[in-house]
Chain A
Amino acid sequence: EVQLLESGGGLVQPGGSLRLSCAASGFTFSSSAMSWVRQAPGKGLEWVSGVSGSDVNVDSTYYADSVKGRFTISRDNSMNTLYLQMNRLRAEDTAVYYCAKDMGRLDYWGQGTLVTVSS
């Protein structure tokens, strides 16, 4: 059974940093592309970042314009874990952050972790 479990969310001040983690199980993590998607309170879904699986291009990474230069996606295949390092956080980054297994379509999602950026 595929499972994705996010952690690391919380309250952070504007300008601060946070690192999200997503522990994966039930599939071959190393060869799977992965993405982060967020959802601001009461709003729709926004794709944030993606990383390729190891059988394509090693750690090719992709970002939405809204986070480029501030967020960094990475993965540790030995730990079956996906990360999202978020720096220079803004109030508009407040959202539930989901990790998802990425086959173009996002076929499995975690339960999400809430990030609140506020002073």
Chain B
Amino acid sequence: DIQMTQSPSTLSASVGDRVTITCRASQTISSWLAWYQQKPGKAPKLLIYKASTLESGVPSRFSGSGSGTEFTLTISSLQPDDFATYYCQQYTTYSYTFGQGTKLEIK
């Protein structure tokens, strides 16, 4: 299986900050990468797919980049609603695999 490694595991930031989360794949996955946001007690929500395509309805402060094995999720100006846990997921092949998650906390 393809292993996905996110960093950092925890990120403390303030409203208005620009933050970046990194996801690395153990082998090339082209651009078959998605990012999700999850809040406590809720299902994950798709933010970005194909590495950089914003899902409909997702604010433009979210952006994704990368290809091959290294990817980033950037939030350009943190809003209070953005404090949550973020996961990357590769879907180049079954079994799909997720990163271990990045918890974004209020500083």
Contacts and interface: CB of A to CB of B under 8 A. Distances in A.
Contacts, number: 57
A110 B50 CA distance: 22
B91 A110 contact: no
Given A106-B89, A109-B45, 15 more contacts: A44-B99, A44-B100, A45-B36, A47-B94, A47-B97, A50-B96, A63-B95, A64-B95, A98-B44, A104-B91, A105-B34, A105-B49, A106-B44, A109-B44, A112-B43
B87 interface: yes
A105 B100 CA distance: 17
A105 B43 contact: no
Contacts of B44: 45, 98, 106, 109
Interface of A: 35, 44-47, 50, 62-65, 98, 103-112
B27 to A, nearest CB: 17
B43 A44 contact: no
A35 B101 CA distance: 20
